[in-house]
Amino acid sequence: MSTKGKKVKIIYFISLIMSLFVMNLNARESGYSISAAFVGMSMDYREYDDNGNILDSEISVDGALIKGGEISLAYTKVLEDNDYALIALNINYLYGATEYKGSLLDSGLGYGSYVGRTNNDVLDMEVEYKFMDTFENGIELIYGVGVGYSSWRRELSALQVEVYKWYSIRPKFGMGYLVDNLYFGAILEYQYGLSPQMDILANSENPNTTVDLGSANIFEITLPISYVLNEKFDIYFEYVYQYQMIEKSNTVPYIINGVTKGILEPASTANNNYLKLGATFKF
């Protein structure tokens, strides 16, 4: 055999091995998976009057994150051309304290006249569907929608407990890139709140009181990184930035120190940052 022929066969053999290697890395199998992650969240929540002046705030201070975990159960279906679809149930629960800065209820004093500690319970549940359109260069486009439920229990004191809650529709779009066993992505999501409300839990003067929030909108960006350890296990890290806007509520009667007055939930914004570190088991 000529030297030229040997070189052609060697090049062909190397190309074949590389092609099989790349195909193996990008191959996906239909099946179930379960993921679990440790989650930390920093909160920067602020309420405003009608003139845009700050009334009160809840802020994570001294690096104290609100901590908890997330668990997800998913089913992946591989389609033609290595495209794939995923349906998942995601549950995220966090608990921790923030520093409240504002004023005592009906005191008439300004922002910062009272500083306290708030205990927070944050729950988010979602059923999502995503379709991934894959390309030979490792890039994929992500389209999806979710239906979710959000709840925030805000315990300012034993006598003042507020619970924000709403369902939401969550369209999402993103891109991902797979190189070897490493995956990078970026996903944009919009959450439109359905009939958002805030409950003020009963105290010595009032029964449970509910106000209807004007709206609840969340804009979110997620930056996931994952690494395939083997055919059964992945590890992953995610950073999530979330911007929340709530419009002020209607006014309802409320008793304060024996006097019936009108009370409402003012407009607010929140800038929240999440860090997630977890693992996925495929079965």
Q: How far apart are CA 250 and CA 255, in angstroms?
A: 16
Residue 105: the pLDDT is 79
30, 76 in Cβ contact below 8 A? Answer: yes
- Which stretches within the chain are classed as H helix? 3-26
Rounded alpha-carbon distances, angstroms, from residue 165 to 9, 151, 200: 66, 4, 11
Scan for tokens 């006097």, then name that residue. Answer: 259
H/E run at residue 263: strand 259-263
**Beta-carbon contacts of residue 56 (< 8 Å; ≥ 6 apart):** 46, 47, 100, 101, 102, 103, 111
Residue 108: the pLDDT is 76
Q: pLDDT per residue over 51-89, tens digit each?
A: 999 999 999 988 789 999 999 999 999 998 889 999 999
Residue 149's nearest CA partner among 164, 135, 167, 123 is: 167
Look up the CATH number of domain 30-282. Answer: 2.40.128.100
Residue 260's nearest CA partner among 50, 57, 123, 106 is: 106
Residue 46: the pLDDT is 98
Q: Is 216 exposed, middle or buried (0-12, 13-18, 19+ CB in 10 A)?
A: buried
Residue 5: the pLDDT is 52
Residue 1: the pLDDT is 53
Instruction: Give every residue of the chain whose pLDDT is below 70, as ranges.
Output: 1-28
Rounded alpha-carbon distances, angstroms, from residue 278 to 220, 227, 246, 254: 20, 11, 31, 45
Other beta carbons within 10 angstroms of residue 273's beta carbon come to 15
**Beta-carbon contacts of residue 74 (< 8 Å; ≥ 6 apart):** 32, 33, 34, 35, 86, 87, 88, 89
Q: What is the DSSP string of 72-115?
A: EEEEEEE-GGG-EEEEEEEEEEEEEEEEEEE--TT----TTSEE
The single-letter DSSP state of residue 188 is E
Amino acid in the structure at residue 233:
F
Output the pTM of the full model: 0.86
Residue 29: the pLDDT is 76
